[in-house]
Structure 1
Amino acid sequence: MDFDFRLIVFYTAAQHLNFTKTASALFISQPAVSKNIQELEKKLGVPLFERKGNNLNLTDSGQILYKYAQQIINLYNQAGQEIQELQEGRKGNLVLGASTTISQYVLPALLADFLSQYPNNRIQSFQSNSRSIEEQLIDKTLDLGITEGSTDNRALKYIPFMKDELVLVTNSQNPLLAQLKNPILSDITRLPLVLREQGSGTRTIIENALKDKSINLSEVQIEMILPSTESIKGYLARRNSFAFLSIHTVQKEVLNNLLTIVDIPQLTIERYFYFTHLYGGLAGTPNQFLQFCLRQNFKL
């Protein structure tokens, strides 16, 4: 930093060709101006100014340094501005991992709104299940994750983001609906269910919710295991099966009478979507995106 300031003193003096005006412009004393110029001349081994009476002029070496000093100071200022933009999240990169439900039904609008406000950022978004996202965060291949639920992994910090509810749905033409006009909890054990794969946050939430009601997955008729919400909805359209899906993912199908929600009074499965990242804090674009999303105040 010492050399940087000496260069600024020289550059200002070269513009004014007057040490008194230089001192005033930089809010330092005139002896401080002389001292910085002398130190710079000593470092470079050449005189930078020559005095002829009351006039102060640049030497040939001073002319060369002045030409490059302007470029150096401009680059220094540009670098400082870009670093500030990076720290404030106005410019930078984000590698984001989101679990399936969030990636398909929540994230697109958030990303579009964020980039409208902060257009100089570059974001890469990847879809994976919650377990894989946690592993990639620990491996530092992701900056930030959004998962369906949290774990007790001490390396990761979880921040509640958005409330969700998992509802039991089926094909609206399913003849089994006639037997479920007043459904009870035990009906779940006799219904053909479609589940997500192991490692899915949705599956973990369902499994834990049923276990809280003393129902183990071993007691449930699992007809099919599929890797995504869309594949499950496509399957339900052609089969008289049932599945627990996020209410965010079935609103259109319920509105169009393609899927029907089966309300079991004794069973409410609520969860939160979580932002997650390595402990130690976030900076730049990852933090800016996190704070942007938390300000949205999402509700069911």
Structure 2
Amino acid sequence: MNLQQLEYFLVLAENEHMTKTAQQLNISQPSLSYTIAELEKELGVPLFKKFGRNIRLTKYGHYYYDYAQQAIKLLQQAKEVISDDVHPSTGHIDFGFIYTMGAINAPIITKEFLGIKPQTHFSFKQNNSKNLLQDLRDERLDIAIVSHVEGFEDIAFEPLLEEKMVVTVPKHHPLSQKEVISLEELSHHPLVYYNASSGLRPYLQDVFEALNLPISSKIEVEDDQTVLGFVSNGFGLAIMPEIPSIKAFPVTALKISNHIQPRIIYLATRKNAYHSPLLKEFKQFCLSYFKN
């Protein structure tokens, strides 16, 4: 069965007259009769019976009428929901971002965009890059700010911004009196390191491998706040993004003397997928905002 059959059936059930219904639908009466006959053939029961010059619903027709009405109503509701979701001014955007973006960058660009499109509806999700990208692939997110992760060839990564890296040490650690530290010196100390779920880990591995330095870590965690918690309690030092929440912990942030590759943060969207006009506008806004 198809939507046209449902629509024809409902109009005929309400009119109870073949000729009148055919005229209303602007089709021929044989075409209407054929459509209804095919529907009855598929269902295996008669939906109408003759009643003088008119027709009436059979018992099965009454059953089908109730469900057909509900089906059409639900389909109309679905159409309205989709229409609202992709509306260029009042649509919905599912926006994901990594933990380091939650304090400043994600709130700022959301606020600035709402200044242009105040009726936009946002849903937010914070997670590590790998999980955000999986949500993006599964269409639970429309757009995400992430690290680059291998294995997501169906995702488009566009450079958004660079994060400055620092070394954090406990407040009363001997190194806390320094302002600058080399990664060679850092490698002689135990590290609080990022685990395999973190998008920062591949970047750090590349940094240490480029300098041919070992990594000595006993503590591996996922997010920056936990890294700071373990560092402040003396479990080791950490190389991490320079984020505002560092100031909330009893740690000292040291500059890195080595010239290391910048950590690039990307704006990720699905390749070869439908992007609503509002999503396209938000994506371009994000890229332009950080470029400027």
- TM-score, with structure 1 as normaliser: 0.62
Rounded Cα–Cα distance in structure 2 between residues aligned with 1:116 and 1:150: 32
Q: CA RMSD in A?
A: 3.2
What is aligned with 1:272? 264
User: Aligned partner of 1:295: which letter?
Assistant: S
- Given the alignment, which residue of 281, 284, 290 partners 1:291? 284
For the pair shown, the structure with the greater C-alpha radius of gyration is 1
Rounded Cα–Cα distance in structure 2 between residues aligned with 1:172 and 1:242: 11
Rounded Cα–Cα distance in structure 2 between residues aligned with 1:124 and 1:85: 12
Rounded Cα–Cα distance in structure 2 between residues aligned with 1:42 and 1:296: 52
State the secondary structure of the residue aligned to 1:120.
coil
133-142 or 149-158: bigger deviation: 149-158
Following superposition, the deviation at residue 156 of structure 1 comes to 1.0
Structure 1 pair 202–249 and aligned structure 2 pair: CA distance change class (3 A):
farther
Rounded Cα–Cα distance in structure 2 between residues aligned with 1:286 and 1:41: 40
Report if aligned partners of 1:174, 1:240 keep a CA contact under 8 Å in 2: no
User: Aligned partner of 2:223: which letter?
Assistant: S
Where does 1:30-41 land on structure 2 (aligned, <5 Å)?
A: none
What is aligned with 1:138? 137
Structure 1 pair 169–298 and aligned structure 2 pair: CA distance change class (3 A):
farther
Residue deviations 1:190-227 (CA, integer Å, cap 9, x gap): 21211122121112211111111122xxx322131222
State the secondary structure of the residue aligned to 1:159.
strand
Residue deviations 1:38-60 (CA, integer Å, cap 9, x gap): xx999499xxxxxxxxxxxxxxx
Following superposition, the deviation at residue 130 of structure 1 comes to 0.8
Rounded Cα–Cα distance in structure 1 between residues aligned with 2:228 and 2:25: 77
What is aligned with 2:231? 236
What is aligned with 1:195? 193
Structure 1 pair 108–41 and aligned structure 2 pair: CA distance change class (3 A):
closer
What is aligned with 2:125? 126
Number of aligned residues: 218
Residue deviations 1:63-111 (CA, integer Å, cap 9, x gap): xxxxxxxxxxxxxxxx99x969945x31211112211111344212222
Where does 1:38-117 land on structure 2 (aligned, <5 Å)?
A: 43=26, 86=86, 89-117=88-116
What 5-or-longer segments of structure 2 have no aligned partner? 1-22, 29-78
Structure 1 pair 175–277 and aligned structure 2 pair: CA distance change class (3 A):
same
Following superposition, the deviation at residue 230 of structure 1 comes to 1.3
Rounded Cα–Cα distance in structure 2 between residues aligned with 1:237 and 1:182: 19
Q: Which one has more relative contact order, counting CA pairs under 8 Å at least 6 apart?
A: 1
Report if aligned partners of 2:148, 2:199 keep a CA contact under 8 Å in 1: yes
Rounded Cα–Cα distance in structure 2 between residues aligned with 1:121 and 1:245: 34
What 5-or-longer segments of structure 1 have no aligned partner? 1-39, 46-78
Structure 1 pair 298–240 and aligned structure 2 pair: CA distance change class (3 A):
farther
Report if aligned partners of 1:99, 1:128 keep a CA contact under 8 Å in 2: yes
Report if aligned partners of 1:129, 1:199 keep a CA contact under 8 Å in 2: yes
- Given the alignment, which residue of 203, 206, 214 partners 2:204? 206
State the secondary structure of the residue aligned to 1:297.
helix
- TM-score, with structure 2 as normaliser: 0.64
Structure 1 pair 223–298 and aligned structure 2 pair: CA distance change class (3 A):
farther
